[in-house]
Amino acid sequence: MTIQSLGYIGINSTDLSQWKTYGTEVLGLQDVTDQHPDSDKCLLLKMDDRPYRMVIQQSDTDSFGFCGWEATSQANMASTIDKLKAAKVKVSHASSELTKQRCVTELVSFVDPAGNQHELYWGPISNSKKMISPVGVSGFVTGEMGVGHVVLPAPNFDETTQFFSDVLGFGLSDLMNIRFSDDPDEPIKRLWFMHCNQRHHSLGLFEMEFPSGCIHAMLEVESIDEVGKCNDRRIAHDVGLSGTLGRHTNDHMLSFYMRSPGNFDIEYGADGRTIDDWEKFTVFESTVPSFWGHDFSVGQG
């Protein structure tokens, strides 16, 4: 497997101050923008011992920006680039300035068949400083499993899932076939959950358009208490709830969903399961998203 993890995510923002408040006071991340003088018109949020895991860039839209995928080595990155080129995907090498800003050794970008933006890098550069959460979050579950997961729109579903499987080497963890209404004429939308490490899924692909470019991004904290504390901060900051507390059937994550200034949801969870041996894992279809909870009707209207 050439891609190790979701190393960071990029977000577009018309007002960085919204993300500064949300990222630090609700999510509990550390603002380290001042520690990176090269980063112009960006907000950098630290989750762990990496320099940062979220970059919010000044933009004329409030939307998801890109995924930053981490390759384990120079050789693995080179072989992934070869596969992208063989699949006729344009690979753009980043400038030395951007590579330095991302705190990595080598950086390229590409676009998937659904139009989602991605970066690929190897050799993260870190001074190993710990994250100091401004609201006392004990820590996020990251490491070799990366940031968490993102669910991206993929209206051209077959082409996009094939791209992530065959070109980038992701494995299918499980899937859902979803209708939002009881109307039998509503087309079924496929949702695939895909892995690149022990985390049950680092990527979801949903067979639908989504204007902000991301359905949700998930951050995992170390305990259920930290999930509850974040919900308290959500209420204190009047951030809308999108889905009530619940536990998912596929990754067993105990989580809730809330709005973000990026027009996509943040899932904030704990207790997600990990899969040590994918060879012994049976890919399955879930007919319900959760064992209990996760009432998404609270976010409607």
Tell me the site size for Fe ion, rule CB under 5 A.
2
Q: Which is nearer to Fe ion, 174 or 267 (CB)?
A: 267
Indicate the residue among 11 and 218 with the shorter CB distance to Fe ion: 218
Which stretch, 67-75, 114-122, 190-198, 263-271, contacts Fe ion (CB under 5 A)? 263-271
Nearer to Fe ion, 114 or 215 (CB): 215
Beta pairing class for 171-178 and 284-286: parallel
SS3 of residue 72 by DSSP: coil
Beta partners for residue 5, in sequence order:
70
Return the number of the residue (9 or 108) whose C-beta is nearest Fe ion: 9
What span, in angstroms and rounded, lies between the C-alpha atoms of 285 and 115? 26
Helix, strand, coil fractions of the chain, as percent rounded to 5: 20, 35, 40
The single-letter DSSP state of residue 224 is: H
CB 206 within 8 A of CB 151: yes
Instruction: Kindly indicate which of the ranges 37-45, 98-106, 140-148, 261-269 contains the residues binding Fe ion, using the contact rule CB under 5 A.
Output: 261-269
Beta carbon nearer to Fe ion, 47 or 218: 218
How far apart are CB 178 and Fe ion at their closest, in Å?
14
**What part of residues 207-246 is at the interface with Fe ion (CB under 5 A)?**
218
Strands across the sheet with 104-111, in order?
Answer: 30-31, 42-46, 54-58, 3-13, 63-71, 117-124, 104-111, 92-93
**Among residues 70, 119, 226, 267, the one that binds Fe ion under rule CB under 5 A:** 267
Instruction: Specify the length of the chain in residues.
Output: 301
Q: Which residues contact 86 (CB under 8 A, 6 or more apart)?
A: none
Q: How far is the CB of 264 from Fe ion (least distance, A)?
A: 11
Smallest gap from Cβ 150 to Fe ion, in A, equals 9
Residue 218 or 254: the one with the smaller Cβ distance to Fe ion is 218
Task: Choose the binding region for Fe ion from 14-22, 83-91, 260-268, 283-291 (rule: CB under 5 A).
Answer: 260-268
The site for Fe ion (CB under 5 A) is made up of 218, 267
